[in-house]
Structure formats: structure tokens, C-alpha cells
């Protein structure tokens, strides 16, 4: 048995091929898993549990079928789908997971994060994140109609794309000191996260002990899956 980790699928009606790949994954490889963890940005945008669109239905149904088959699914909020709520949980059968969370992964305490809070050099993004995660801001957003929220989400995506094109690559990656602080704070030697779309396994020493940071890949052009067993973890592409 293995535990699977994925993130940054950014599912949307505009990318049906990736949605099909994900559905195939849920009906195939994931059925043999001990658990599936989705560490943020399952959807390109989620404007609220009251505005579930037709493109979401097959994904929610497939997640529910996976859970009903005996495989628990845990979903962490990302920077694109932080409004996932209780109705999403009910329809998908999955459980929302706090960011950060520490799990026991085959005897090794492992820190799970989406990863965006580690990108501390991107100060403009961190200010935006604080704004959209504020309960008052979210309440004001949810008071708008779904059409208004869709328009606002589109506006934010366009703004993000424009700003990202002007930022240095290093600014959008994690800050090493932030990584080390997170590992120290939670007392772990292994961290798994997504967000940066830079799949890799980084090994280094921290306070005289070996630690590991595993970065999940995105699902823009292909699938990216981390498979962990008692013997170790392996990153692979679908």
C-alpha cells in the first residue's frame, strides 16, 4: 500500500484533457492507495460552495467514488481554491486539511503545506494572501452574486499573470529560511508541499540532522504524483 500526494491541478473547463487525466487517475492508480492527499489548487478557481458549476460535477463524483471505495481523501486549500467549504466536503466525501498539518507517514512525522506561505520574498503576493484570507473580506465576497465573483476571480487571475511575468523567478520560489523555520517549528525532518510548480526532492542538513523537502509538480501539461511507502517516496509523472 502507498500514500499518494498531488497538488496544483488547476482543474477548469478550459483544460478538459487534464480533467480526464485526473479522473483516470482517481478511477485507476488512486484506487489502490492507502490515502490520497491533495495539497492545494485542485481547482483553477472556486468561488464558493454555492456556485458549483457543471465542470465540477464529474470531479466531485469521482472523489466521492474513491472515498466510498475505502480510500480517504484529504484536501488542503490552495491560493486558487481557498473558499472550499463544508458542501464541497459533503459532495466529494473528502476532508479539508489545515495548512500546515503534520501527519505520521509510515513512522516519519511529515509536515504538509500548500507552500505559498514559504514564498516570503514575494511580498506583494503575501499582502494579497493576507487580504483574501481575512474573514471579513471573504464575507464581503460571498455577499456578491456568483456572476460578480466569477468576474472578480477572472480579474485577479489576469492581474496575477501580469505581475508574475514581471517578477524574478527566485522571488516566486520558497525562501530557504522560511523552510528551515517551518521544519524547526513543527519538529520534523520532512516537508511536502506544492505551489511553486518546481517538482524536486531537496536534501540538506538542518541543525546537524538531515532533512528533506519534497516539492510536488503541477498538472498543466502532465500529471505529477508523489508515491510514499514505508521504504521511501518517489516523484513520477503521468
The β-bridge relationship of strands 224-229 and 200-206 is unpaired
Q: pLDDT tens digit string along 205-216?
A: 999 999 999 999
Percent of the chain with pLDDT over 70: 98
Judge if pTM exceeds 0.85. Answer: yes
Q: pLDDT tens digit string along 117-158?
A: 999 999 999 999 999 999 999 999 999 999 999 898 888 888
The pLDDT score that the predictor gives to residue 159 is 78
Per DSSP (E only), the strands in the chain are 3-6, 35-39, 73-76, 95-97, 101-105, 108-113, 190-193, 200-206, 209-215, 224-229, 232-237
CATH number of 3-237: 3.60.21.10
Cα–Cα distance, 186 to 196 (Å, whole number): 21
Cα–Cα distance, 99 to 112 (Å, whole number): 7
- For 62, residues 6+ apart whose C-beta sits below 8 A from its C-beta are 22, 23, 26, 27
Mean pLDDT (the chain) is: 94
DSSP string, 58-126: HHHHHHHHHHHTT--EEEE--SS-TT--HHHHHHH--EEE-SSEEEEETTEEEEEE-SGGG-TT-HHHH
- 24-28, 113-117, 157-161, 213-217: which has the minimum mean pLDDT? 157-161
Per the CB < 8 A criterion, the answer to whether 8 and 228 are in contact is: no
The pLDDT score that the predictor gives to residue 220 is 94
Any idea where the domains of the chain sit in the sequence?
3-237
116 has pLDDT over 70? yes
Residue 144, Cβ density class (10 Å: 0-12 exposed, 13-18 middle, ≥19 buried): middle
166 has pLDDT over 70? no
- 49-53, 101-105, 190-194: which has the minimum mean pLDDT? 49-53
Average pLDDT over residues 56-80: 97
Amino acid at each position: 500500500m502507498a500514500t499518494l500526494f498531488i497538488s496544483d491541478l488547476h482543474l477548469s473547463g478550459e483544460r478538459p484533457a487534464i480533467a480526464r487525466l485526473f479522473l483516470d487517475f482517481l478511477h485507476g492508480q488512486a484506487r489502490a492507495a492507502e490515502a490520497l492527499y491533495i495539497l492545494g489548487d485542485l481547482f483553477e478557481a472556486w468561488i464558493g460552495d454555492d456556485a458549483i458549476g457543471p465542470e465540477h460535477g464529474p470531479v466531485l463524483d469521482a472523489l466521492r467514488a474513491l472515498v466510498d471505495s475505502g480510500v480517504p481523501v484529504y484536501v488542503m486549500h490552495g491560493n486558487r481554491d481557498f473558499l472550499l467549504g463544508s458542501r464541497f466536503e459533503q459532495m466529494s466525501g473528502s476532508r479539508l486539511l489545515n495548512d500546515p498539518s503534520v501527519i505520521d507517514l509510515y513512522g516519519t512525522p511529515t509536515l504538509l503545506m500548500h507552500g505559498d506561505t514559504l514564498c516570503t520574498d514575494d511580498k506583494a503576493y503575501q499582502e494579497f494572501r493576507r487580504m483574501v484570507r481575512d474573514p471579513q473580506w471573504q464575507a464581503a465576497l460571498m455577499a456578491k452574486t456568483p456572476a460578480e465573483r466569477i468576474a472578480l476571480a477572472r480579474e485577479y487571475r489576469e492581474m496575477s499573470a501580469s505581475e508574475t511575468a514581471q517578477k524574478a523567478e527566485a522571488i516566486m520560489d520558497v525562501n530557504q529560511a522560511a523552510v528551515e523555520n517551518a521544519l524547526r517549528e513543527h519538529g520534523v525532518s520532512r516537508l511536502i508541499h506544492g505551489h511553486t510548480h518546481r517538482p524536486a526532492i531537496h536534501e540538506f542538513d538542518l541543525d546537524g540532522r538531515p532533512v528533506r523537502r519534497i516539492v510536488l509538480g503541477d498538472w498543466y501539461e502532465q500529471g505529477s504524483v508523489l508515491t510514499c511507502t514505508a521504504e521511501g517516496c518517489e516523484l513520477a509523472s503521468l
